[in-house]
A and B are shown apart, each in its own frame.
Chain A
Amino acid sequence: MAPRRRKSKAATTEISALDSYLLMLILLRLPVKLLHRLKCVSKRWNILITSAFPPQRLGTNSGFLGFDHRGGFGGYFPRSHDQLLLPPRSASLEHAVRFQDPDFPKRLTSLRPTTRPLVPMPEDPHGTNSNFIALEFDPTMSLRYKIIRSLHTCCNPSERVVASTQVQQQLVRMPFLELEIFSSETQKWVRKNVLHGPHGTCLPGHVLLLNGSMYKLVHPNYVVGFAFDDDDRRRNLVPLDVNKQTSVSVLPVDDNFSGTGCLSTWGGWLHYTSCDGVLVKIWRVSDFGNSAWEVIHVNSMAIMRGIVCRDITRTVIGGDVVFSLAGYSPDFKLLFLDKEGRVMGYDYPTRTMHKLSNLMPWTREHKGYKLQPFWPSLFNPRKIPEALAYTPYVIY
């Protein structure tokens, strides 16, 4: 009897009969863009895709092309390749490795995360000696990538640490920042002059693209954004109009802001990391125009020096506050306190997602830990719902 029943069932075997493991095997090999599209197929597909690639992660799918300070090509690094391009086909990472070949930089090639083929870039009109800065884009926001490079000589980041003031003085004299922007749409390099701030520091990594807008650190107390493309203007991320060369958004920061670190982006957030990795600041770029921002002080992170990028984002999912953590070190725990400073519990940073409901209970045996404030203040408390008023602490 059993085989007969099997047969009639098997006769209608279709993709929906595959168990989730098999379906995941297939989905993991598909490009990210297609996966987004396939969410519409059915509820099961939607659940599978969103569970494997949670929206927080998908949102951070901004890959970037890295160039080191000597103009060497670092390759394409997907921001969260561990999530998006799981081991079977981490094609982008392979390419990144291949590009580190010393013979490679003669001709640049970029990898497009949406379609995966490698697109050769045009010949470099300035030889191999020009200073590339960054390529950064989020394929969820725009299909087109842009590469910008500075036509000025940039200084070596290692010198910068030693003689940062000297370097700044040297760079102050530059009234304009000369950039060339390569758009994947037009396939051409376009020269742009961008107004510097009053105390301009133009260092590699200081200019970056996020969702089609360009951000540049121009003053220890300001972050200025630029937008330079009509296509991106519809995304409402236009802190500054390059043609008018006026600053729109100015973010005041406190005294600890050294002005010699680098800006980076992560999932719609703009980060500032000081050169020694001691201080991290995070701006929420979607609120950029409203001058709302969040700042994270990590003043006492000396122990964790070397781990430059650490960031916590939090979202509310179903009434739960979910903290996600990136660039964490294995030797600390996240401790959550409520508004009055009472310990709510702790969680291990080995998990990237922290739900308040899943926290470990806090007991006496933990009292030996030294508490370090990790997220002491939010600048606009009125905007933050009650559920968000927990403060994560780091324990060493």
Chain B
Amino acid sequence: MDKDREGIDFLTQKEYEYGFVTDIEMDLAPKGLNEEIIRMISGKKGEPEEVLRWRLKAYRGWTKMKEPRWAFIEYPSIDYQDIYYYAAPRKKKRPKSMDEVDSEIVATFNKLGISLEEQEALSGVAVDAVMDSVSVATTFKKKLKELGIIFLSISEAIREYPDLVRKYLGSVVAPNDNFFAALNSAVFTDGTFVYIPKGIRCPMELSTYFRINAAQTGQFERTLIVADKESYVSYLEGCTAPIRDENQLHAAVVELVALDGAEIKYSTVQNWYAGDKEGKGGIYNFVTKRGLCGNNSKISWAQVETGSAITWKYPSIILRGDNAVGEFHSVALTNNYQQADTGTKMIHLGKNTRSTIISKGISAGHSNNSYRGLVKIGPKADNAKNYSQCDSLLIGNKCGAHTFPYIEVNNPTANVEHEATTSKISEDQLFYCNQRGIGTEEAIGLIINGYAREVFKRLPMEFAVEAQKLLAVRLEGSVG
């Protein structure tokens, strides 16, 4: 098994490839969090008084809350006063086209393989690139505008479409929903707003790349996607971050609203810096993601989680309307000293609602990977159906894989099934591959790829390449 060991070691010792720091002059607010800082952020963004009041309310709620510690993750306490809550690339005016975008920023994205020009020209993807906290480039805006689709940074949307934002902001994740959502509501600096009008099918995948850049800067993204009746949108989110020694905090909020008959597909590839081999550094990722379904609507989450020192993330769906459908497909990979506590919540409230949960966990090194999920069937959700499958794969004997499902059923017509298995890559499988001339490293890659295939299939074509590339960096690439 020495060869096998080698393969695993090689795989678990892969360094983070995307670690580099772009030198851009930063516009920093002082460290710490208080009402003054929130007023300053709001002021810098030119927000209406109303939004400031909303932020302050969230902040006051937050000061009374306690940091949640129920998840199966361990980390030193976070000093919330030791974080910069605002950092923006200095700029003179808003760039109107790609040429005006800071060349260094463009270079950064190029290094990540996400060239704005290329993407615009070749793949037809509209990219709203977020460098730290401010949107620096928005493409394809015109084309989308013709269809009435709004695709803006959220601060622009607050200025330009205040009524629309007011109606939906905080409607799915209330400002005081939980500790990290409250923190986000108080200090969010930027994010994305999408509105798809009635009956419109968004012709392209919308995508945003987030990137933590400034040292000691937390990112507090706020994403709001509203799909009006009978509309469709597919949204992609992916992230990479440079190597830093200090732990960085990321507390994003994503809200999805699918009105009657609408469909939202939300895909994520998360590859924040996970810390080094000794577990030093890495991003703390505390995300609140939730979608709300109207009648006959559908929301699906697909995620590939490979990064972050700590992942605390439960993309949820409230199936409020009748016949609504919710889906959750996830691959979570932890390596070295990474810790992930992730899963989903499916809240069935409407009749004939259906949900599917497919979760694939892979743990290697000294990491801990937990699935934590809730399936709740309300008393009025007649004929609700849920199917959950949570598999865990262990690589090496120093890691842990855990499953914590919660199932609450309050209706006799419900059908809920949950299955989970835990196993390792069997010697038989490896032997079979070896026997046919496939090296151990390659075989591990092959087996893991097959194991996660069910979820990869769910990623949109335009994104699959990128996702596989990112995963390959952490797994397949290293063994193949």
- Bound pair (A, B): no
